[in-house]
Structure 1
Amino acid sequence: MRLLFAGTPHAAVPSLEALIASRHDVVAVLTRADAPAGRGRTLVPSPVRVAAEAAGIPVVTDVPRGDDFLTLLRDLDIDAAPVVAYGHLLRPDVLAVPRHGWVNLHFSLLPAWRGAAPVQRAIIAGDEITGATTFLLDEGMDTGPVLGTMTETIRPRDTSGDLLDRLAHAGAGLLVATLDGLEDGALHPQPQPADGVSLAAKLTTADAHIDFRDPALAVDRLIRGCTPAPGAWTTVPGPDGAPARLGLGPVAARPDVTDLGAGELRPGKREVLVGTATHAVQLGLVQPVGKKPMAAADWARGARLGDDVLLGTQEGAR
């Protein structure tokens, strides 16, 4: 089949590469326009654009609105448009152009976790199983009929980055198999069930704030779900006593330590413990404002913290 691939981030690149290597013909790639990044706000192409240009495939960055885009799309004479994390909603007249529709690869078992952050939300919720779904886009938010699924275990120490990487590579095979099945006439879309719907709203910086008054299990899941983006953080007293931000990497459970109050810090030579509503956790990498990530013990030595420091409260200290 003649394909237009639509995608933007790193997680979409394995699918593009798998489709290029398949029996299908990727005639063009649709991705978001170059975006400013870094302190200099230099325009940077999307990972999908970089991969497409390396393969010699024409790239389209037009916003999918207006008659010009519709004309361009029709001129491509495509059979299907596979989509992986493209980043724009599509109008009904655009959805109607490909003969076999827009085939979206979504990183959850629909109808669970419809929306922008399915992998992060699954980890935060404590799900043990997730997966990926291919389905036909319609006007709703991840509501179209299902074509194929695959499952993936969420491991106890998975971050959202770890899990997304596995799903991106395994899901690429599912996407290719789905397009093969559509071309062969072996697949028939099935409506999503009405039960089991959950929503996966995009995580904000505020969502990633860690409050150590929560149970240790909730702290662990939230940090892992927010790693690497948007990045978990808490508060610690700054040089002037005001709360300063401290980025957090995944923690280790310490159920053997129950004598620390919520947010109470216990720095040691090789470890830094902090209390929660249940038991302590051991901090891993931390990142003070304006500095690179470092081992928690190194941070604690340099910060010269007092015995009365509390993490993750509005006040930052007792």
Structure 2
Amino acid sequence: MTNLKFKEYLNTKYQLVSDNIKSTSKNKASWLEYTGYAEHRKYVSLNPGNHKVVRFLTIDCDHPNYDEFPGSFPKPLCTVIDRDSHRHHHVFELKTPVLTDINAKWKPKRLLATVERGFIYQLGGDTKFTNTLSKNPWNKEAWSTIWYPDFKPLELKECLTWYEEEKIKKSANDNEEFAVSGHGRHVDLFDYVRHLAYRNYFGAWNSDDSIVYSTAYQFNATFYEPLPDCDVRSTCKSIIKFMNERYTGSNSEPYARKTPTVSDKLEILKSAIRDVQSQGELYNATHLAEMTGFPRQTVSRLLKKI
């Protein structure tokens, strides 16, 4: 595996990099750099900094036992080791990359977060690592790297066996908290806020979006490494959009919901058209898609029925 070429293997134009995130004499700094120049940086985002796609999962271990794996645990692509302390990063490659954008499906994101927590527990990893910048496996001056020739890209579903929920809960109780970081932050924020929104929708939450935002920001502040404000806002917008367009719960059935029927969509589209016409403006499918949140192709198809 040592003949893997940095630029060809990562196959992206830019990488998020840094040289001094552990420095005590300099401010922490990271920046985007052409992949051809990023090869010699100490730290690099193996998942491109400007794309929310996870192809590599990094587990940060602050102990020296870099060559210890439990039982038949899957081998990583590589292990990057600090020569002095033997602290290390295990880098796993996913067979199917996971899109983590707010508009992506939540089931793969939950699966990724679950596997990440299981791996952290099994390998004694740092629960506060955000999985953004990894020790650069190709930087031979800064680190020692073990490449595993028998590694295989991970199929996330097959890795669920390493997630032991009860043991992780017990670990959390013993250590006050099993800190949520990495990819689990997005999932936990989304689930926490949306379930509160479902339960309280027929109270104040259905008329005051600010409650959704304030709740999300308060919960985000409990993370060791809070999510950026833009991610919190995107999560809130996704929840509010769902509540306004698709939620049909009641006080007795707070989690009931439905997919809008064609007639529902037609009414929403007609209402949007009336709003545009009342302002004396022209409209097209693209404009109406932005107003309703429906895909442009759906709007074009519905316009033929009006």
TM range (shorter): under 0.3
Larger helix percent = 2
Give the alignment's TM-score, normalised by structure 1. Answer: 0.27
Larger strand percent = 1
